[in-house]
Chain A
Amino acid sequence: MSQHIIKMYNKIDAQIRKAPTNTSVKSNGLIPKRDSSDEDADIIHYIKQLRKMREGNNESK
């Protein structure tokens, strides 16, 4: 389980570090395509916010 968490963390960390690219294709059908990038985007957003908070705290020290 820890190995899976490490993989997940490293993957998200790498996505944050690299330049943002939007490769998701929106479907025109009634049923939207299942896209993991939406969930990833939420996580990335959270992590970016947390890192910003940390940087702010470190600067104010």
Chain B
Amino acid sequence: MNPSKEPTFDAPIPGQSLTGELGSKPWEKPPKLNTVNEVIENYMPAFEDKAMVTEILNQMESGIPIIPIVNLLIRAGVMDGDHTLDTGLLAAPVLIEMLINVAEASDVKYKIGNETKKNVEPSMSAIALALRDFDDVEEETTLEEEVMEASPMEPPREPSMGLMTKRGEEDGI
């Protein structure tokens, strides 16, 4: 047995999360911030924190799009019990715009993460499928050629002009 595929028992038992007391986790309590405005105002000071902004800019420079960063911020807020997931989602566009502003102010190249791919390169599986289809077509054509070679077309019979030839055969009927 492959050692990497051995089952690991160092994981929570299914349903373990339901055994804790209700309300013991921050996200199980009522959120501290209830409106979108409050959520946005909660995040604004984070963009004034130099250390935090530097960290985010480093991530953007390394090629991470803005949307996953915002996703992380929102999830952290939900885990801390600051706000619910839906108010976080509503505030997300504002956070994206804030991060764009921060990136442009410090001349950092950024990707938002909602860009649609125009020239999508075919995946390896698509290439393999296309090659298999091509091989099938080639095999079919070679088979057809072999069949054609094996049974060449019979040349047209010339009407026999002998004395014993039937009338119909002579006329080609």
Residues of A within 8 A of B (CB): 1-2, 4-6, 8-10, 12-13, 39, 42-43, 46-47, 50-51, 53-54, 57-58
Query: B67's contact among A6, A47, A58, by CB below 8 Å, is which?
Result: A6
Which residues 24-74 of B sit at the A interface, judged by CB distance below 8 A?
35-37, 40, 67-68, 70-71, 74
Interface pair A46/B75, CB less than 8 Å apart:
no
Residues of B within 8 A of A (CB): 35-37, 40, 67-68, 70-71, 74-75, 89-94, 96-98, 100-101, 104-105, 112-114
Interface pair B98/A50, CB less than 8 Å apart:
yes
CB < 8 Å A-B pair total: 63
Residues of chain A within 8 A (CB-CB) of B75 are 1
Known: A12-B93, A57-B104. A43 touches B113 (CB 8 A): no
Interface pair B94/A43, CB less than 8 Å apart:
yes
Interface pair A46/B67, CB less than 8 Å apart:
no
Query: B90's contact among A1, A8, A10, A54, by CB below 8 Å, is which?
Result: A8
Query: B114's contact among A1, A6, A39, A50, by CB below 8 Å, is which?
Result: A6
**In the complex, what's the smallest C-beta–C-beta distance from A55 to chain B, in angstroms?**
10
- B interface secondary structure, majority: helix
Known: A39-B36, A50-B97. A6 touches B113 (CB 8 A): yes
Inter-chain CA distance A2–B97, complex, in Å, is 15
Interface pair A2/B93, CB less than 8 Å apart:
no
Interface pair B100/A5, CB less than 8 Å apart:
no
28 inter-chain pairs at a CB distance below 8 angstroms, sorted by A residue, are A1-B71, A1-B74, A2-B68, A5-B70, A5-B93, A5-B96, A6-B67, A6-B114, A8-B93, A9-B96, A9-B112, A9-B114, A13-B93, A39-B36, A43-B36, A43-B90, A43-B91, A43-B93, A43-B94, A46-B40, A47-B94, A50-B94, A50-B97, A50-B98, A50-B100, A50-B101, A53-B101, A58-B104
